[in-house]
Amino acid sequence: MKRGLVLGALLALGALAVVKAQPPDPNAPKVVTVDKVKDNLWVLKGGGGNTAVFATANGVVVVDAKNPGWGTPILNKIKELTPKPVTMLINTHTHGDHVSGNVEFPATVDVVVQENTKANMEKMDIFKQNNNRGMAKRTFKDRMTLGKGADQIDLYYFGPGHTNGDAIVVFPALRTAHIGDLFASKGLPLVDGANGGSVLHYPDTLNKVHAGVKNVDTLINGHSDTTTTWADLKEFADFNQDFLTWAEGALKSGKAPEAAAAEWKVPAKYTGYSSQVSTLFGGVAGRLTRLQEEMKK
């Protein structure tokens, strides 16, 4: 019980750090920038996680809605791209920098998430404070197909990683997918244990994505500045496997998480990988602590 309280306090600190990293100054201009990925698919950057905008025959599907206050800037930017109405919103996972803007979308918009993500979203204050506006309306467990032909979207869930509800959103006609924070960028991924994330299963989950999803060339990542490739996903899975192998070895040798963490660095073969590790969720030591808990189960 006491341990749970301490963990809760640490997570609260983590949540504060998120806010600190992007101060919610209501007067600061909310600038959304646009990258065109395909003729009817764009990435909207700024204000949290990357947002995908997919124009179908009858409406616009949005993937992820950024930090609090960024829903309206997203909707305004979409009006510059297409006259079609926004009809659907998909969230890749529960984090505040991906779902908070949901509450600013019209109440008629369909909201679709993985079922564990809905349970995680139900714990968030922002939805309670907004009368449940923007809350998930439909869920899937492992797989769901929406629409057909050029408009088809396939949703997949392959197991725990960044959280226990990381959806892969595939646009098959465009050979492109939004992979959210399961592959946020080239660097050590964050693992949110309180929302079911797993250091132990992370590489497996990535390998299942790589083996289980076909005909995708381009990935929209949760936080990277540019898109990545299917080959980058395999490399990222290997990077996470190498991290896990190292971490298991360090813990088995009896090292404490803090001591082991100080020794970790990006293996030289992973060129272009960031050596900056966020302190969210306890940094490298936090990942080792999470792994230690998982290894005891």
Q: Which is nearer to Zn ion, 58 or 279 (CB)?
A: 279
| Piece of 68-76, 77-85, 173-181, 250-258 that binds Zn ion (CB under 5 A) | 173-181
As a whole number of angstroms, the distance between CA 65 and CA 91 comes to: 8
Burial of 11 (0-12, 13-18, 19+ CB in 10 A): middle
- Name which position in 45, 66, 77, 95 contacts Zn ion (CB under 5 A): 95
SS3 183: helix
Of 65, 234, 212, 227, whose CA–CA distance to 143 is shortest? 212
CB of 181 to Zn ion, least distance (A): 4
| Piece of 141-149, 151-159, 174-182, 285-293 that binds Zn ion (CB under 5 A) | 174-182
List the beta bridge partners of residue 182: none
DSSP secondary structure string for all residues of 10-66: HHHHHHHHHHHHS---TTS----EEEEEETTEEEEESSSS-EEEEE-SS-EEEE---
Pairing of β 168-171 and β 110-114: unpaired
Q: Which is nearer to Zn ion, 40 or 92 (CB)?
A: 92
- Tell me, by CB under 5 A, how many residues bind Zn ion: 2
**CA distances, 285 to each of 185, 262, 278, 289 (Å):** 20, 8, 11, 6
Token readout for 28 is: 């600061």
| Piece of 4-12, 87-95, 140-148, 265-273 that binds Zn ion (CB under 5 A) | 87-95
Q: Which is nearer to Zn ion, 52 or 250 (CB)?
A: 52
List the beta bridge partners of residue 139: 113
Residue 26 CB-half CA count within 13 A? 0
CB of 95 to Zn ion, least distance (A): 3
CB of 68 to Zn ion, least distance (A): 15
Q: Does 178 bind Zn ion (CB under 5 A)?
A: no
Q: Which is nearer to Zn ion, 101 or 147 (CB)?
A: 101
Q: Which is nearer to Zn ion, 191 or 291 (CB)?
A: 191
Q: Which is nearer to Zn ion, 154 or 181 (CB)?
A: 181
CB of 193 to Zn ion, least distance (A): 13
Of 159, 291, 140, 275, whose CA–CA distance to 212 is shortest? 159
Q: Which is nearer to Zn ion, 99 or 247 (CB)?
A: 99
Q: Which is nearer to Zn ion, 95 or 287 (CB)?
A: 95
| Piece of 92-100, 111-119, 144-152, 153-161 that binds Zn ion (CB under 5 A) | 92-100
Taking residues 180 to 209 in sequence order and writing x for each that binds Zn ion by CB under 5 A, - otherwise, the string is -x----------------------------
CB of 269 to Zn ion, least distance (A): 26
Q: Do residues 71 and 46 lie in contact, with contact meaning Cβ atoms separated by under 8 Å?
A: no
| Piece of 82-90, 93-101, 123-131, 209-217 that binds Zn ion (CB under 5 A) | 93-101
- Write out the residues near Zn ion by the rule CB under 5 A: 95, 181
